[in-house]
Chain A
Amino acid sequence: DAGVTQSPTHLIKTRGQHVTLRCSPISGHKSVSWYQQVLGQGPQFIFQYYEKEERGRGNFPDRFSARQFPNYSSELNVNALLLGDSALYLCASSFGTGQNTEAFFGQGTRLTVV
């Protein structure tokens, strides 16, 4: 079985541009969460989606948005990119949203904003 897959693996963008990152969860998983990991820090929660509905949102500006599709894959969109948006963006999938459901992480998309 494929694990959580994210695309692209690496991306370079210019300040002011927008970017779309994609995530395919493990088959059967209905919840997808997005995290931003700046170099040297732990992952910071951005969004959680379950059954195509937003279930949680971290402390990120409105430039960050996401959605989940009927097949449970998800996109993270970031508009008006800033240098500080350079980070590893991680997607995690889980069967549900309960605390006892294990979250599996993808390898991440490394975004560099220049």
Chain B
Amino acid sequence: GEDVEQSLFLSVREGDSSVINCTYTDSSSTYLYWYKQEPGAGLQLLTYIFSNMDMKQDQRLTVLLNKKDKHLSLRIADTQTGDSAIYFCAERSKLIFGTGTRLQVFP
């Protein structure tokens, strides 16, 4: 069946860039999403990319898509302590989520 995989943890220093990676298997996905979840909260949509795009930039966020390798990444520039959360990638055809990457930002 369809699957979405992510690395579990990422730790970065405040001010550095963070890169969170995701691989998916469903080639029919036309939209791929990044969600943020803070402790005890629901999911907040951060950004998304359409499958015919290679890159999308939205302020501090850059999404890169390699459709051939089914690889998606989220780059957060100038990472702040408020960015500490769990980040999920999801493919929209069935809204299947990855396991989430816990981003920890230290001063």
Contact = CB atoms under 8 A, between A and B. Distances in A.
Chain A bound to chain B: yes
Interface of A: 4, 33, 35, 41-45, 56, 90, 92, 99-100, 102-108
Contact of B97 (A43, A56, A108): A43
A107 B41 contact: yes
Interface of B: 4, 29-31, 35, 41-45, 48, 50, 88, 92-100
13 contacts: A33-B95, A42-B4, A42-B88, A42-B98, A42-B100, A43-B43, A45-B95, A90-B42, A92-B43, A99-B29, A102-B48, A105-B42, A108-B42
B31 A100 contact: yes
Give the most central of B93, B94, B98: most A CB within 10 Å: B94
B43 A99 contact: no
